[in-house]
Amino acid sequence: MKVVFATGMYPPAIGGPATYTATMVRELTRRGVMVRVVTYGDKQTLQDRGVPFFIVTRNRFKSVQYFRYARAVIRCARDADIIYAQDPVSAGLPAALAAFILRKPFLLKIVGDYAWEQSGTRDLLDDFLTRSYGFRVSILRAIERWVASRARIVIVPSQYLRSIVIRWGIHEDQIVVVPNGVEPFVSASREDARSKFVLHGNVILSVGRLVWWKGFHTLIRAARALKNVTVVIVGDGPERTSLEKEAVGVPVHFIGASDKKTLAEYFAAADIFVLNTAYEGFSHQLLEVMAAGVPVITTSAGGNREIVRHEQNALNIEYDDERALAEAVERLIKDESLGDTLSKNARIDSSKYTVSRMVDETMEIFNQVYS
């Protein structure tokens, strides 16, 4: 079997799609699948990856960028059995066009609503789907729906995202849920990690892209009212400057993007993990931190409700409830037995989401299309 992965990013780029694609490429290659990758990126940083790469540089003219990407997919997919795109627009649109030209089976993975993320609105996704937002958003909506309609199968990581794609008008029989799998982190010493990063007191860790729906502003405001806490925020994004202004006078460390080894060390150093989010398709980060055994405070937004069990494997709060967040942190600081219970159950629950299971279920889909 020969599979072409069309993705918007690949390591060393940081992000869920990059991590997922790299993991799938590695595991499928081990199983004898011939894999090729088309991605945006820098040729100097994507060498010696063990599989054939076709690298497309980004261009400020989207039409030129997508044309070059589609051409790259056509070049490497002439003898392929499947073209598998990792998003519905930047990689998905040119890949769908290439699949149409080559008459190849086209599969699509969807982990969010691209039009919503690019719209600039502060409306939550469920509200966004019922409203109009002008010409540009209408075009993005039309693109992602057309690309999804072209896919033989749309793969999503959660039942929540399946419901979103159904609301796009895609038939439910066309959509298959394959939850993401997590790989165990290499354990790091708590003392060594805290010493290395010079962290003191009760360490509250939060990880994610610095965008409004991740609720970092509220986390910082909640920390302002707490004693003997240090907040560590790992990630980067458009909200960083405003978050740094918010954090004046509060012990907050902004780490920026981090590799997996460093992130494992921050997990080891943390007392509490906070994901104050208004939207999650299916949080790979949440599964990782649960597998690491860090007590979690989060919301039931989106796919989180398929993972989180309140007071069993995490504490569940409402999005952007500053008081509830501060109270949940204080509760975990004072009640070590509760933290131990959440940690133990989180490890057990997260162990169901293995990379092996994810690859097995994806291979079943590939074999269905291949046959």
Query: Where does the pLDDT of residue 16 fall: very low under 50, low under 70, confident under 90, or very high at 90 and above?
Result: confident
Query: Percent of the chain at pLDDT above 70?
Result: 97
The torsion angles phi and psi of 75, rounded to 5 degrees, stand at: -60, -40
Q: Are 95 and 120 in contact (CB under 8 A)?
A: no
Residue 223 clears pLDDT 90, i.e. is over it = yes
CA atoms of 194 and 176, how far apart (whole Å) = 42
pLDDT score recorded for residue 17: 82
At the topology level of CATH, where does 190-350 sit? Rossmann fold (3.40.50)
CA atoms of 130 and 136, how far apart (whole Å) = 16
Average pLDDT over residues 74-78: 95
> What tens digit of pLDDT does each residue of 128-183 get?
999 999 999 999 999 999 999 999 999 999 999 999 999 999 999 999 999 999 88
Residue 77 clears pLDDT 60, i.e. is over it = yes
Q: Is 27 helix (H, G, I), strand (E, B) or coil?
A: helix
The secondary structure of the chain in percent helix, strand, coil, rounded to multiples of 5, reads: 50, 15, 35
> What tens digit of pLDDT does each residue of 297-343 get?
999 999 999 999 999 999 999 999 999 999 999 999 999 999 999 99
> What tens digit of pLDDT does each residue of 276-296 get?
999 999 988 899 999 999 999
Query: Where does the pLDDT of residue 214 fall: very low under 50, low under 70, confident under 90, or very high at 90 and above?
Result: very high
Average pLDDT over residues 56-72: 92
Q: Which two tokens stand for residue 50?
A: 């063990």
pLDDT score recorded for residue 43: 67
Count of residues for the chain?
A: 371
pLDDT score recorded for residue 59: 86
> What tens digit of pLDDT does each residue of 43-54 get?
655 555 667 888
Average pLDDT over residues 206-230: 95
CA atoms of 52 and 5, how far apart (whole Å) = 11
Equal CATH topology for 2-181+354-370 and 190-350: yes
Supply the CATH classification number for the domain 2-181+354-370. 3.40.50.2000
Average pLDDT, the chain: 93
Residue 248 clears pLDDT 70, i.e. is over it = yes
Residue 213 clears pLDDT 60, i.e. is over it = yes
Q: Are 305 and 271 in contact (CB under 8 A)?
A: no
Domain ranges of the chain: 2-181+354-370, 190-350
Distance of CA 31 to the CA centre of its chain: 25
DSSP string, 102-139: HT--EEEE--S-HHHHHH---S-HHHHTTS---HHHHH
Q: Is 298 helix (H, G, I), strand (E, B) or coil?
A: strand
